Structure 1
Amino acid sequence: MLKLGVIGSNWITERFIDAAKTSDSFLLQAVYSRNIENAKQFAQKHQASYYFDSLEALASSDVDAVYIASPNSFHAPQAMQLMKAGKHVIVEKPIASNFALAQQMYQVAQEQSVILFEAYMSSYLPNFDIVRQSIPKLGKLRKANINYCQYSSRYQKYLDGENPNTFNPLFSNGSIMDIGFYCIAACVELFGEPRSIKAQAALLESGVDGHGSVILNFGDFDAVVTHSKVNDSYLPSEIQGEDAALQIDMISLCQSVKWYQRGESPLSIGVKQHTNPMYYEAKAFAKAIGLGRIHAADQHRALITSKVITEIRAQTGVVFPADNETK
């Protein structure tokens, strides 16, 4: 049983703790928060033995692995500090504020012989695997429309004059770093590194993107990505080949997958998944620690996704203070 520490005390941390416990691979040992009272209350709620408001104390503790769910701008510095202390790390997506920092993180992981794992849950879902295995059966790929638009619960606060983390460049946030990440990562996972990228976005006054569109070219077919945190969409994503097409309901969760064959009725090819979608990534993280190595394809996807998103931000004019850390 691996001793687990967590950074963050929000709903997504609670969901990962549940997934980790359900996987029968982890025992929650420690909680870190910048506010010691928050850390104490969260630790008591989830029966953790220790709580800290010092990252140095967490790094010096006897935990084997740490789940990081802090704001995006903290991912790289926190992960590298913990890895240098010999801890395995699973970092909530996106792995870093930019490509250069992501590269530095994997370099530290290699030097310290620890596992660095990006918590991109979609890739480990059974239905995503069905999509992955079905693509070669579609015939020559021609088009992909990857869509994820969801009105942020914090957007009204932003409109009211507050500056929530969700729309604050200080925390390396915005639509492409959050909602859009799932679309870009899915494309990289399924199609590889794009040959060219064309991006546009509508920037909020804070400096981050509220929504945007991206065309990723993969030679003889394009993937069109639509993402937003300021409006909802109810459209599924679709991958189109010359022989058939796949339709995916909610690209982040792959809630259902349908096969469309020309001249035939749609066929549901998805399977029932665990109620906690993070269960599968928790199992994969534990397996990587047990093997002593991360799957090369997982590292490649994380790095290329970070590279693509960094280029998208360059084209759309989204700049983060964290970008200065790599100059």
Structure 2
Amino acid sequence: MINLGIIGTNWITDQFVQAAHETGNYQLVAVYSRKLETAQTFGEKYGDVEYATDLETFFALEHLNTVYIASPNSLHFEQAKQGILAGKNIIVEKPAFSTPKEMAEIIELANQKNVFFFEAARNIHERAFKTVADFLPLKNQIIGADFSYMKYSSRYDKVLAGQEPNVFSPHFSGGALVDLGVYPIYAALAWFGLPNESIYYGQKIATDVDGIGTGILRYDHFDVTIRTGKIGDSFQQSEIYLTNGTLVMNAINSIDEAVFHDRNHQRREKLSVHQLENPMIEEAENFAQVILNPTDHKLGTEYEEWVELSRNVNQVIYDMRKSAGIVFDADEE
């Protein structure tokens, strides 16, 4: 059994804990929050849970072996580092870290301390995502792709009112690209590999981060267009263009429908995909299998592939952010 602790008491943390419990491999044993009342309100429905209002006490809990971190983006690095030094496995909600330097340090430290680091980019762990991966032909049969994920954030209302919420703050490594843009970028790199060039045209809002933007990932023989945003809604589907047709997906963040339109035979092939009610179950299960079977060679290889993918996604996002002139406090440290 994995004894799970959590940092961050928002809705996504609750969804992960529910998913983790549903796999049967985890038990929530500890909750950290700066306010005891907040921690207790979150944990009371999960049974016998310990609470901590300082990280030193939290990470010192001996029976705690794995920590899920879903705090503001800029806090991930120091919290993950502290957890690894305490001998804990670390699951960090996307985007895991602000810079390639932070990412490299955590990966190296996790290896040194013989613990696991996972970035919780759930879409690549879904069975539907893997079904699409199995369907795709060789790269020389791909001529392009267009991925979109844009959803209005209610916190933008605070920006319009003159405030600076964490998700739209450069001090907390916020903005559209590093939040919703992670999903299409993960998809592109998981399916097509590391691009030769990455560029982003982001439209800055009052807080000096991007509210909406368009990116281009350039490969040898095709380009992938990335559209993302948190100040508007998109109902656009995502598509992959092949030499003999087009694969159309209802979404890139969580695929519930995928249809291939064959140009030559004028037929439609519907892929067998579906979305679970809780979309975090599959990633929680995948992480658990690695943690519970640390000597399994196949799982170890898969884990290393996830880590390298996380590293590459982090680098691409950093390059895209730099091309758009989006600067975080973390860049200066």
Asked if 1 retains the 8 angstrom alpha-carbon contact of 2:254 and 2:275, the reply is: no
Aligned to 1:289: 291
Unaligned stretches of 5+ in structure 2? 295-299
> How far does residue 137 in structure 1 lie from its aligned partner after superposition?
6.8
Q: State how far apart, in whole Å, the 2-side matches of 1:170 and 1:103 are.
A: 21
- 1:235 and 1:29, CA in 2 relative to 1: closer, same or farther beyond 3 A? same
Contact preservation (8 Å) 2:186, 2:313: yes
Aligned counterparts of 1:117 and 1:197: Cα–Cα separation in 2: 24
1:122 aligned residue: 123
Show the counterpart of 1:77: 78
What is the rounded CA distance, in whole Å, between the counterparts of 1:259 and 1:3 in structure 2? Answer: 43
Shift of 1:138: 8.6
Alpha-carbon distance in 2 for matches of 1:25, 1:40? 23
Q: Which amino acid letter does the alignment assign opposite residue 269 of structure 2?
A: L
- Matched residues in 2 for 1:102 and 1:138: separation? 28
Identity of aligned residues (%): 35
Other-structure match for 1:224: 225
Residue 307 (str. 1) matches residue 306 (str. 2)? no
User: What residue in structure 1 maps to residue 89 of structure 2?
Assistant: 88
1:109 counterpart letter in structure 2: A
TM-aligned CA deviation for residue 90 of structure 1 = 0.5
| In 2: Cα distance, 1:21 partner to 1:53 partner | 24
- Per the TM alignment, residue 36 of structure 1 is displaced from its structure 2 partner at its CA by 1.9
Q: Corresponding residue for 1:194?
A: 195
Q: Which residue of 2 aligns with 1:46?
A: 46
* Alignment gaps of 5+ in structure 1: none
Read off the aligned partner of 1:105 and give its amino acid letter: I
- Name the SS of the counterpart of 1:270 in structure 2: coil
Offset at 1:233?
0.9
Equivalent position amino acid for 1:122 in 2: N
Is the partner of 2:177 in helix, strand or coil? coil
Aligned pairs for 1:1-327 (under 5 A) are: 1-61=1-61, 62-136=63-137, 140-262=141-263, 263-292=265-294, 293=300, 295-325=303-333
Query: Cα 1:57–1:95, aligned 2, differ >3 Å: closer, same or farther?
Result: same
User: What SS does the aligned partner of 2:226 have?
Assistant: strand
Give the partner amino acid of 1:58. Answer: F
**Equivalent pair of 1:131/1:246 in contact (CA under 8 Å):** no
Query: Partners in 1 of 2:329 and 2:196 — Cα distance?
Result: 28
- Aligned-CA RMSD value: 1.4
AA aligned to 1:237 is S
Map Cα deviations across residues 188-224 of structure 1 (whole Å, 9 max, x no partner): 1111110012221111121110111111111010001
Distance 1:210 1:161 in 2: 15
Tell me, in whole angstroms, the C-alpha distance in 1 between the residues paired with 2:199 and 2:322: 11
The TM-score normalised by the length of structure 1 is 0.96
TM-score (normalised: structure 2): 0.94
